[in-house]
Amino acid sequence: MNKIAASELILNPDGSIYHLNLRPENIASNIIFVGDQNRVPKVSKHFDSIEFETQKREFRTITGTYKGKRISVISTGIGPDNIDIVMNELDALVNIDLETRTVKKEHTKLHIVRIGTSGSLQSYIPVDSFVLAKYGLGFDGMLHAYDCKSILETELEDAFIEHTGYSPRKSRPYIVKNSDILETKLLSDKVFSGVTATAGGFYGPQGRVLRLAIQDPKLNSKIDNFEFNGIKITNLEMETSAIYGLAKLLGHEACSMNAIIANRANGTFSEDPYKPIEELIIYTLNKLCL
Ligand code: R1P
């Protein structure tokens, strides 16, 4: 068994993993991701009981039970670079023996659901609605650091690249499917199903122009009108594709639920963005812990 060096798998003096500050016994196998650390207690306030709480930087974790089922909620902060940290460290907590620094023989699967905020790209998906991401479409490039060819939806990627004339100077857009098991649990007639695009930034990478010109000013409208076998790109945020990619590579289940607080197609913003988030938290907890 290869021993993973201290420089590669970094532990804190108390044995917890470097960024998340967690030990293996601190997390449940059902995990909710939120971006904002202040959203963690907005999820855990619904729990029956709380057994553990910690925070380091933007990574806040609370573990407890909901309707008798053990569950953790963790804030990831913003962006795919943070998702690389959170997914690898969570996986290490369950699939690497931190004492011997070796990969465990038995694989443990995590069930991960992101509850995030997002902007809709389609006028038929209004503010205050919910979108479940059937696919994550990554513009961020993070996943290309890994040997990921086997999990990609290459036909869909090629059609998208051709339709948009995507610049070869940017990283190749990658597309990864969600977890069938979690989709079945979480989908209902209250939720749109779509493709969630993930950008590696908030302004230029999502086509927002303040003072800087962007590389392709027509990219957002080409994204909006892309269609392949009935599949359309529904919304834009900053984490989903990275979660889907790393979950699939590491053997975990993942699904992303989006509260639509802005509609980029018609320029509207929710009058009370906390309301759809609160409703999506309750909806997701109940579907997940049936
Ligand atoms: C940007 O404001 C942040 O909000 C969205 C984006 O994905 C990005 O993280 O999600 P969260 O509300 O989950 O953070």
Gap from CA of 258 to ligand 1 centroid (Å): 10
Predicted pLDDT at 226: 97
Tokens of 242: 């990275």
Predicted pLDDT at 290: 82
Gap from CA of 228 to ligand 1 centroid (Å): 27
Predicted pLDDT at 87: 99
CATH number of 24-288: 3.40.50.1580
| DSSP annotation of 233 | E
Taking the C-alpha atoms of residue 16 and residue 140, their distance in angstroms, rounded to an integer, is 29
The interface predicted TM-score (ipTM) is 0.98
Taking the C-alpha atoms of residue 67 and residue 19, their distance in angstroms, rounded to an integer, is 29
Gap from CA of 249 to ligand 1 centroid (Å): 23
Taking the C-alpha atoms of residue 72 and residue 65, their distance in angstroms, rounded to an integer, is 8
| DSSP annotation of 176 | E
DSSP structure string for 183-227: HHHH--TTEEEEEEEE-SSSSGGGT--SSS--S-TTHHHHHHT-E
Tokens of 131: 């979108």
Closest CA to 78 of 245, 239, 266: 239
Tell me the three state secondary structure of residue 235. Answer: strand
Taking the C-alpha atoms of residue 193 and residue 176, their distance in angstroms, rounded to an integer, is 15
Q: Where do the domains of the chain lie?
A: 24-288
Q: Which atom from ligand 1 is nearest to the alpha carbon of 78?
A: 9
- Asked if 29 contacts 109 with a C-beta cutoff of 8 angstroms, the reply is yes
Q: Which atom from ligand 1 is nearest to the alpha carbon of 237?
A: 7
Helices (H) and strands (E) in the chain, counts: 7, 14
Mutating to test ligand 1, I would choose from 238, 257, 277, 281 the residue with most ligand atoms within 8 A of its C-beta, which is 238
Tokens of 233: 């790109």
Flag residues of the chain having pLDDT under 50.
Answer: none
Predicted pLDDT at 1: 72
Predicted pLDDT at 205: 96
User: Atom 12 of ligand 1 has which residue's CA nearest to it?
Assistant: 117
- Asked if 23 contacts 93 with a C-beta cutoff of 8 angstroms, the reply is yes
Predicted pLDDT at 284: 98
User: Atom 4 of ligand 1 has which residue's CA nearest to it?
Assistant: 117
Residues with CB under 6 A from ligand 1: 34-36, 78, 116-117, 202, 237-239
Q: Which atom from ligand 1 is nearest to the alpha carbon of 238?
A: 7
